[in-house]
Amino acid sequence: MKKMSNIYESAANTLGIFNSPCLTKVELRVACKGISDRDALSKPDPCVILKMQSHGQWFEVDRTEVIRTCINPVFSKLFTVDFYFEEVQRLRFEVHDISSNHNGLKEADFLGGMECTLGQIVSQRKLSKSLLKHGNTAGKSSITVIAEELSGNDDYVELSFSARKLDDKDFFSKSDPFLEIFRVNDDATQQLVHRTEVVMNNLNPAWKTFKVSVNSLCSGDQDRRLKCIVWDWDSNGKHDFIGEFSSTFKEMRGAMEGRQVQWECINPKYKAKKKNYKNSGIVILNLCKIHKMHSFLDYIMGGCQIQFTVAIDFTASNGDPRNSCSLHYIHPYQPNEYLKALVAVGEICQDYDSDKMFPAFGFGARIPPEYKVSHDFAINFNEDNPECAGIQGVVEAYQSCLPKLQLYGPTNIAPIIQKVAKSASEETNTKEASQYFILLILTDGVITDMADTREAIVHASHLPMSVIIVGVGNADFSDMQMLDGDDGILRSPKGEPVLRDIVQFVPFRNFKHADSALDIWRADRCWLDKAFLR
């Protein structure tokens, strides 16, 4: 049998591990023009839904807010997506008329859609196209998407505004105010950063606290001018101007540590015409809190340790290990696909694990001595200490246990996720909380406990934990894509969404040849950085 170092070399050569471009995060801003309702007597309540194509299917990624009674909406909600230069990422923007009675799509009217690639938007920076209705017929309506690459600053700021003594613009009731914040760009154009909710019938509104990235707010320039406008909302979409003021992020930072910053809300027309005019109200910033977003490197250099755990599929669908067609076949001269995937991911993760001791488990097999089916057994058969010394120790334990097992089933992975989640939960209860848990699951087929797995992942998303699932073999893994939040928001069977995207699924066959090895590299190093932005 070849030496262990040769196994590593063979795995690395097969996977073609080399430097590839890491992802870039891009913010997409959306606006529409000339959209019309099916009912010619009313204006639509538009909402834009962003979908991304994966394996020939469209999955919802995110959606904007609903803007009531508007034919030329400018949405404040941003879409943040990961851009890969080497991939064709197909996007679809759908505009729907969402009734005020509900926010669902079943009864919503489809107003038009537009398909493009993310590369087209990024290369042009501003892409405008006609909205196509059913039958690909183009009308007078259009959609514009503006792309902005996020700078190295991923920090975001939490802001809380209120106002007092705003002008009353309504005859039979008080104003219904909302606040818009615009960033003034270098070319003097204005970019909508945030639009608050409407506070009905109130001249002293307190708007909800909101969060926005520092990049979106001021492009990282604390002295960049910000224009803020207060409006009185009207149901016909023709909102009344109350007043405006200018500020900077530097000035807003004065509201940190319990202090307040105030501005006079000025209506220039009133100021020019009325001698005794003072203002149209006072706008107050009650909170400005900056949240620092640390990178993977920040965590590692700060003393955070990776706790790397391996789980291997020993179900019967892998084939008899004594047969050369089996995915578990131990070839005398080259590693099987399980070993290649294990070494490829493990060799990277072990660099950040100080003790180089890795718990390794198996699932889906009957184990000695009673040969009962287990879905979370230690492959070294030491339940009190399932750790193996480095990736070499995991490989040796795998090769040693294989002849002693009876491959069985089903393919249940919820138990092993719950086991690691329990350790991660215990870590959060310590004062230090300096460990992050990564679970590598190697499996040959679609899991059979999908409901329990979704429940386990939603629970784990609240913990310092992430999961890499590598699909080994030629099975149809299309159902596994739903576990990877890249195609939409994963929810538990009860409808609870994940707090953050903690799962990365990659079919091994997509990167076992050197010419398509970018996936595994990104699934390891660039993905690790993503996992730590929690």
Residues 131 and 169 in one domain: no
- In this structure, are 43 and 105 located in the same domain? yes
177 and 144 inside one domain: no
Q: Spell out the residues 6+ positions from residue 470 whose beta carbon is closer than 8 angstroms to its own.
A: 341, 345, 440, 441, 442, 443, 505, 506, 507, 508
Ranges under pLDDT 70 in the chain: 1-23, 37-41, 86, 100-106, 151-154, 293-302, 430-433, 484-488, 510-534
Residues 399 and 314 in one domain: yes
Q: Do the domain assignments include residue 7?
A: no
Instruction: Assess whether 393 and 494 both reside in one domain.
Output: yes
Which CATH number does the domain housing residue 514 bear?
3.40.50.410
Cα 487 vs. chain centroid, distance in angstroms? 9
Which contiguous run of DSSP H or E holds residue 300?
helix 296-301
pLDDT at site 194: 96
324 token code pair:
């050369």
Q: Identify the pLDDT of residue 41.
A: 66
Please tell me whether residues 258 and 169 are part of one structural domain. Answer: yes
Does some domain include residue 226? yes
**Residue 139 CB coordination number (10 Å):** 14
Residue with tokens 């994963």: 490
131 in Cβ contact with 141 (< 8 Å)? yes
What count of other Cβ atoms lies within 10 Å of the Cβ of residue 259?
12
Residue 25: the pLDDT is 81
Q: What is the pLDDT of residues 460-505, one digit of tens each?
A: 988 888 888 888 888 777 777 777 655 557 788 887 878 777 888 8
Residue 487 maps to a domain: yes
Q: Could you say which of 150, 173, 202 is where a domain stops?
A: 150
Note the helical H segments in 114-196.
Answer: 118-124
Stated as kind and residue range, the H or E segment containing 521 is helix 518-521
Split into its structural domains, the chain has a count of 3
pLDDT of residue 9: 47
What angle, 0 to 180 degrees and rounded to 10, lies between the N-to-C axes of helices 390-401 and 4-15? 100
Closest CA to 26 of 143, 146, 115: 146
Q: Which two tokens stand for residue 20?
A: 């590839």
- Report the candidate in 243, 246, 310 with the shortest Cα–Cα distance to residue 279: 243
Q: Which of 325, 369, 292 is nearest to 473 (CA)?
A: 325
Residue 478 dihedral angles phi and psi, to the nearest 5°: -60, -35
pLDDT of residue 178: 97
Query: How many angstroms separate the Cα of 291 from the Cα of each of 125, 443, 477?
Result: 28, 38, 38
pTM (2 decimals)? 0.64
Contact 299, 532 (CB under 8 A): yes
| Assigned domain for 205 exists | yes
Residue range(s) defining the domain that contains residue 514: 304-533
Check whether residue 441 and residue 308 sit in a common domain: yes
Residue 465 placed within a domain: yes
- Looking at the fold, whether 136 and 177 belong to one and the same domain comes out as no
Predicted pLDDT of residue 18: 32
* 510 and 407 in a common domain: yes
Sheet containing 372-374, strands listed edge to edge, beginning at the edge strand earlier in sequence: 372-374, 365-367, 406-407
Q: State the Cα–Cα distance between residues 305 and 436, nearest whole angstrom.
A: 6
Task: Give the helix ranges, DSSP H, for 134-230.
Answer: 214-218
Residues 275 and 398 in one domain: no
E-assigned strand segments in 99-209: 109-117, 126-133, 137-149, 156-164, 177-184, 190-195
Residue 382 lies in a domain: yes
Residue 217: give its domain's CATH number: 2.60.40.150
Final residue of a structural domain among 150, 182, 198 = 150
Q: Please give the pLDDT value at position 314.
A: 96
Per-chain mean pLDDT for the chain: 84
In a domain, 368, yes or no: yes
The residue behind tokens 């950085």 is 529
Does 328 share its domain with 214?
no
Q: Does residue 326 lie in a domain region?
A: yes
359: which strand partners?
387
R_g of the chain, CA atoms, integer Å: 28
One domain for residues 355 and 276: no
pLDDT computed for residue 294 by the predictor: 63
DSSP notation for 62-112: EE----SS-SS-B--PPEEEEE-TTS--EEEEEEEE--TT---STTPEEEE
Residue that finishes a domain, picked among 127, 150, 173: 150
Tokens of 381: 């058969």
Nearest-CA neighbor of 466 among 428, 496, 436?
436
- Tell me what percent of the chain is helix, strand and coil, each rounded to the nearest 5: 25, 35, 40
